[in-house]
Amino acid sequence: MLSDALLIARLDLALLLRQKETLFWTFLMPLVFFYFIGTVTKGFGPRGPGEETIAVSVAPDAGFLADEVLRRVEEQGFKVARQDAATTAEEGGEEHARRLSIPAGFTAGVLSGEQQEVRFEHAGEGLRGDYDAFRLQRAVYTVLADVIAAADPAGAEAPRFADLSAADLAALRARPRALALEVSRAGKRKTIPTGFEQAVPGTMVMFTMIILLTSGASSLLVERREGLLRRLASAPMRRGAVVLGKWGGRIGLAVVQVAFAMLVGRYVFGVRWGENLPMLACVLLAYAGLLAALALLLGSFARSEGQAIGLAVLATNVFAALGGCWWPIEVTPPAMQKLALFLPTGWTMDAMHKLVSF
């Protein structure tokens, strides 16, 4: 019985993967949704290192201390985009939400004891804008502290600011630090996944459902209409083997789709699937098994391909929206979060968030 079921599953999977519609919705459309939804929603949550760009205009004679400031700005998690000090967005420069300007004669002015003004302009308001300003102030004042320490290494009464060079600051950075800060997690993550962390798993769960319900149900309906199932029933194999084989073929399609989505998510969109991959695979395999069974059920009772596809698309969109595939279910009211736990998409997304994000 098992060998008969494996034969049917293998042949069914091969037939499903030959359909252009299945290939289109399995390998191409998820990439579009990954990119579009992930790009649109990545600004809704906390921003990670390298996700923030700040345009920096540096005067030509700003000196080596300007480079030190930019190095410290990058250490604060900003991606520096250098622009000509005389170029604005209206004149052809790229427009950014944050802009830092370092004036002319910056290094010479600092070393001669004159106050220098580093100008920060930003479009954000509230806590996020305050946080950006705080980090930039930290970058500027740590450079000032290094200048004082490098100019007065032994606590002399007359610090040598005038002849300070970039080599002196490099030598200061090379010294062993007397104080070190060790950072570690104090507990489980609390922040809600956004961007590609939400878009890739959510889109994968949604497209697995829509592919299995549409292709899986419509292909079975075609076999019913053309008499292929009656011919298979007359073959020397048990009916259980036929059902198991049809079910296994659709699970095979889900495995191909999920494996492709996870690989693309990891190596193209930078999604880290965490340390619980074996349990994550169990969750997705159970989800695929349920969808494969629902596809057989829909294909057995639908009267036409249009009816099967229409019901599959409608059910997928409703379940995806209510189950947390389009947005993190954690941002919805408690009643909606409880409702999601009555849906297979909600079960899967809840498990994936706990295994991957939390």
CATH number of the domain encompassing residue 86? 3.40.1710
**What proportion of the chain, given as a percentage, has pLDDT over 90?**
27
| Pairing relationship of beta strands 119-122 and 98-102 according to DSSP bridges | antiparallel
288's tokens: 């695929």
- Asked if 250 and 291 count as a contact pair (C-beta separation under 8 A), the reply is yes
Looking at the structure, tell me whether residues 261 and 340 fall in a common domain: yes
Q: What's the CA gap between 195 and 151, in Å, rounded?
A: 45
Calculate the alpha carbon distances from 113 to 100, 157, 159, 161, 239 in Å.
22, 16, 12, 8, 90
Looking at the structure, tell me whether residues 138 and 162 fall in a common domain: yes
Looking at the structure, tell me whether residues 211 and 330 fall in a common domain: yes
Give 298's contacts (C-beta < 8 A, 6+ positions apart): 213, 216, 217, 308, 311, 312
N- to C-terminal Cα distance for the chain?
42
Looking at the structure, tell me whether residues 337 and 210 fall in a common domain: yes
19's tokens: 């359909």
| Pairing relationship of beta strands 78-83 and 98-102 according to DSSP bridges | unpaired
Q: What's the CA gap between 322 and 328, in Å, rounded?
A: 10
Give the CB-side neighbour count of residue 90, counting CA atoms within 13 A: 0
- Asked if 312 and 296 count as a contact pair (C-beta separation under 8 A), the reply is no
- How do residues 268-313 score in pLDDT, each as one tens digit? 988 889 888 999 999 999 999 999 999 999 988 888 888 889 999 9
| Neighbour tally for 103: CB within 10 Å | 17
* Assigned domain for 180 exists: no
* Assigned domain for 185 exists: no
User: 35 φ, ψ to 5°?
Assistant: -70, -50
Calculate the alpha carbon distances from 3 to 237, 245, 250 in Å.
10, 9, 17
How many domains does the chain contain in total? Answer: 2
User: 294 φ, ψ to 5°?
Assistant: -65, -35
Q: What's the CA gap between 75 and 71, in Å, rounded?
A: 6
Looking at the structure, tell me whether residues 146 and 227 fall in a common domain: no
* Assigned domain for 334 exists: yes
pLDDT at 159: 64
Looking at the structure, tell me whether residues 106 and 255 fall in a common domain: no
Residue 259's domain comprises 2-43+194-357
CA 327 to the chain's CA centroid: 13
Looking at the structure, tell me whether residues 112 and 219 fall in a common domain: no
135's tokens: 């980090």
Residue with tokens 């052809």, as numbered in its chain: 92
Looking at the structure, tell me whether residues 283 and 331 fall in a common domain: yes
Residue with tokens 């003004």, as numbered in its chain: 117
Looking at the structure, tell me whether residues 265 and 201 fall in a common domain: yes
**DSSP characters over 86-120:** T--GGGTPPP-SEEEEE-TTHHHHHHTT-----EE
Looking at the structure, tell me whether residues 200 and 349 fall in a common domain: yes
Please report, as a single letter, which amino acid is at residue 174: A
pLDDT at 88: 46
How would you write the pLDDT of the chain (358 residues) with one tens digit per residue? 888 888 888 888 888 888 888 888 888 888 999 988 888 776 554 444 445 788 888 888 888 888 888 998 888 888 888 876 545 444 434 567 788 899 898 888 888 888 888 888 887 666 677 888 898 899 899 888 888 888 776 655 666 777 788 888 888 888 888 888 888 878 777 778 888 889 999 999 999 999 999 988 888 888 888 888 888 888 888 888 888 989 999 999 999 999 999 999 999 988 889 888 999 999 999 999 999 999 999 988 888 888 889 999 999 999 999 999 988 888 889 999 999 999 999 999 999 999 988 8
pTM: 0.65
Looking at the structure, tell me whether residues 138 and 266 fall in a common domain: no
* Assigned domain for 165 exists: yes
Looking at the structure, tell me whether residues 229 and 110 fall in a common domain: no
Which long-range contacts link 19-25 to residues 24+ away (Cβ below 8 Å)?
19/215, 19/219, 21/215, 22/211, 22/215, 22/253, 25/207, 25/210, 25/211, 25/214, 25/215
Output DSSP code: residue 48.
P
